[in-house]
């Protein structure tokens, strides 16, 4: 079922927010204003938004090193995310975590991790907690194609399967783990086939089609809420930039990059909304301007915020 007009427009706005946010981060990184590294989400927006559009505030997500988009889609505050990335005191971790450590329990963002595959057991524990507490919440766990070769993936999914935990395992297959192409490290093409090994459903969807992702998530959530357990959703997508920092990604064939740029999830969704009569050029322009404004405000807030004091370095480090 197609979501309501309001929902569709909200999804479009979120996708734009993520894209413009990431473009700004890239720019600020180039100006040496970002301590540490960054892994940009541009190109994969349909995944985070398609999944999170199905989640309520009280549902959870577990994010990754490429997590800005997940957090924005789940409702994180743009200003505090930007401030954290710039290492400022007003950021989510008071500037001590940076790009890979955004968490906001108030909107169900349980955190990100720079350890590939490490979010999977956390999501399984979250699923167990939901089951023991007897609520109707769900948890969506994002991870990449590379992470699906980690032991945590196999152990985690197996446990979630036998205990029928309400977890959505969302594999963002962007074809590469750093510079390593999926076909070099896996003899199967569809990662979703691995679901069969654990007796759960697995689907592969076009991860650049936000409505396809939305539908797959909806079905998985209904299943989870019926007590039938987890689903593995593989979303085939592509990152527009290199792996991290200023990686020029020269290991990717030019034709491949062009092919995927043509499949840009935002352009496609915009076109679809115009076609469906949900959006007019005028309305689109208005949303785009509002988003630019919000991103500008987030950057201004972050730039004007102070750095943490050196004396605060060891505060809040351990719970």
Minimum distance from residue 122 beta carbon to Mg ion (Å): 19
Q: Which of residues 106-165 bind Mg ion (CB under 5 A)?
A: 144-145
Query: Residues binding Mg ion: what is the number (CB under 5 A)?
Result: 4
Q: Are 84 and 92 contacting, i.e. CB atoms less than 8 angstroms apart?
A: yes
Helix (H) / strand (E) element for 177: namely strand 176-177
Comparing CA positions, the residue from 244, 227, 170 lying closest to residue 202 is 170
Q: How far apart are CA 252 and CA 268, in angstroms?
A: 23
| Residues 234-263: x where in contact with ligand TPP by CB under 6 A, - otherwise, as a string | ---------x--------------------
Closer CB to ligand TPP, 93 or 191, in the complex: 191
Q: Are 201 and 152 contacting, i.e. CB atoms less than 8 angstroms apart?
A: no
Minimum distance from residue 145 beta carbon to ligand TPP (Å): 4
Closer CB to Mg ion, 47 or 224, in the complex: 47
**Contact between 116 and ligand TPP per CB under 6 A:** yes
Catalytic residue, candidates 80, 101, 243, 270 = 243
In three-state secondary structure terms, 44 is coil
Binding partner of 116, given ligand TPP, Mg ion, none, CB within 5-8 angstroms per partner class:
ligand TPP
Rg (C-alpha) for the chain, rounded Å, is 19
Minimum distance from residue 231 beta carbon to ligand TPP (Å): 19
| Residue 243 annotated to the active site | yes
| Residues 64-93: x where in contact with ligand TPP by CB under 6 A, - otherwise, as a string | -xx---------------------------
Supply 69's token pair: 């988009």
Considering only the stretches 6-14, 120-128, 172-180, 290-298, report the one whose residues sit in contact with ligand TPP under the rule CB under 6 A: 172-180
Q: Are 50 and 81 contacting, i.e. CB atoms less than 8 angstroms apart?
A: no
Helix axes of 45-52 and 5-30: crossing angle, nearest 10 degrees:
140
**C-alpha 145: how far from chain center:** 14
Catalytic residue numbers, as ranges: 239, 243, 251
């Amino acid at each position: 079922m197609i979501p309501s007009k309001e929902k569709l427009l909200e999804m479009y706005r979120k996708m734009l927010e993520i894209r413009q946010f990431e473009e700004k981060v890239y720019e600020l990184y180039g100006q040496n204003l970002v301590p540490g590294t960054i892994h940009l989400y541009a190109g994969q927006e349909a995944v985070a938004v398609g999944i999170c559009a199905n989640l309520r505030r009280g549902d959870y997500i577990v994010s990754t090193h490429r997590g800005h988009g997940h957090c924005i889609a789940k409702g994180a505050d743009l200003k505090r995310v930007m401030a954290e990335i710039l290492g400022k005191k007003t950021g989510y971790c008071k500037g001590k975590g940076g790009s890979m450590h955004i968490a906001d329990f108030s909107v169900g963002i349980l955190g990100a991790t720079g350890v590939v595959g490490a979010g999977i057991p956390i999501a399984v524990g979250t699923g167990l907690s939901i089951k023991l507490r007897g609520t109707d919440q769900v948890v969506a766990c994002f991870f990449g194609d590379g992470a699906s070769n980690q032991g945590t993936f196999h152990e985690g999914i197996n446990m979630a399967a036998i205990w029928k935990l309400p977890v959505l395992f969302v594999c963002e297959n962007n074809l590469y783990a750093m510079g390593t192409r999926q076909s070099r490290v896996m003899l199967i093409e569809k990662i979703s086939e691995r679901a069969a090994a654990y007796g759960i459903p697995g689907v592969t969807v076009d991860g650049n089609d936000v409505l396809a992702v939305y539908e797959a998530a909806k079905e998985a959530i209904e299943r989870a809420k019926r007590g039938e357990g987890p689903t593995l959703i593989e979303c085939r997508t592509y990152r527009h930039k290199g792996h991290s920092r200023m990686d020029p990604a020269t290991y990717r064939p030019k034709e491949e990059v062009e092919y995927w740029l043509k499949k840009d999830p935002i352009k496609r969704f915009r076109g679809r909304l115009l076609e469906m009569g949900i959006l007019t050029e005028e309305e689109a322009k208005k949303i785009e301007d509002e988003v630019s404004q919000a991103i500008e405000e987030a950057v201004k807030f972050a730039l004007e915020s102070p750095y943490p004091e050196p004396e605060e370095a060891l505060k809040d480090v351990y719970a």
